[in-house]
Amino acid sequence: MIPLISTIIPTFNRCEFLMEAVRSVLNQTDENLEIIVVDDGSTDDTQKNLAPLFNRIKYVYQENKGPASARNRGIYESRGELIAFLDSDDLWMPEKLKKQRQLFEKDSSLMIAHTDEIWLRNGVRVNQMKKHKKAGGDIFERSLDLCLVSPSAVMMRRMIFDAVGLWDDNLPFAEDYDLWLRILSRYPIGFIPEPLTIKRGGHPDQQSKKFVGGDKYRIFALEKILDSGVLTEHQRDLVINAIKKKCLIYGKGCIKHGKLEEGRKYLSVAEKYT
Asked if the structure places residue 235 within a domain, the reply is yes
Count structural domains, the chain.
Answer: 2
What pTM does this model have? 0.93
Q: In this predicted model, what pLDDT tens digit does every residue of 144-165 receive, in sequence order?
A: 998 899 999 999 999 999 999 9
Q: What is the pLDDT of residue 122?
A: 87
**Statement to judge: residues 197 and 222 lie in one domain:** no
Across the chain, mean pLDDT equals 94
Q: Residue 167 sits in a domain of what CATH number?
A: 3.90.550.10
Q: What is the pLDDT of residue 1?
A: 61
**Statement to judge: residues 179 and 240 lie in one domain:** no
Asked if the structure places residue 210 within a domain, the reply is no
**Statement to judge: residues 249 and 191 lie in one domain:** no
Whether the Cβ atoms of residue 140 and residue 181 lie closer than 8 Å to each other? yes
Asked if the structure places residue 67 within a domain, the reply is yes
**Statement to judge: residues 144 and 181 lie in one domain:** yes
**Statement to judge: residues 61 and 33 lie in one domain:** yes
Asked if the structure places residue 87 within a domain, the reply is yes
Domain that includes residue 56, residue range: 5-205
Q: In this predicted model, what pLDDT tens digit does every residue of 79-135 receive, in sequence order?
A: 999 999 999 999 999 999 999 999 999 999 999 999 999 999 888 898 888 888 999
Asked if the structure places residue 83 within a domain, the reply is yes
pLDDT grade, residue 206 (50/70/90)?
low
Asked if the structure places residue 232 within a domain, the reply is yes
CB contact burial 249-265 (16+ within 10 A = b; e otherwise): ebbebbbeeebeebbee
Q: What is the pLDDT of residue 208?
A: 54
Asked if the structure places residue 130 within a domain, the reply is yes
**Statement to judge: residues 189 and 226 lie in one domain:** no
Is 198 a residue whose pLDDT tops 60?
yes
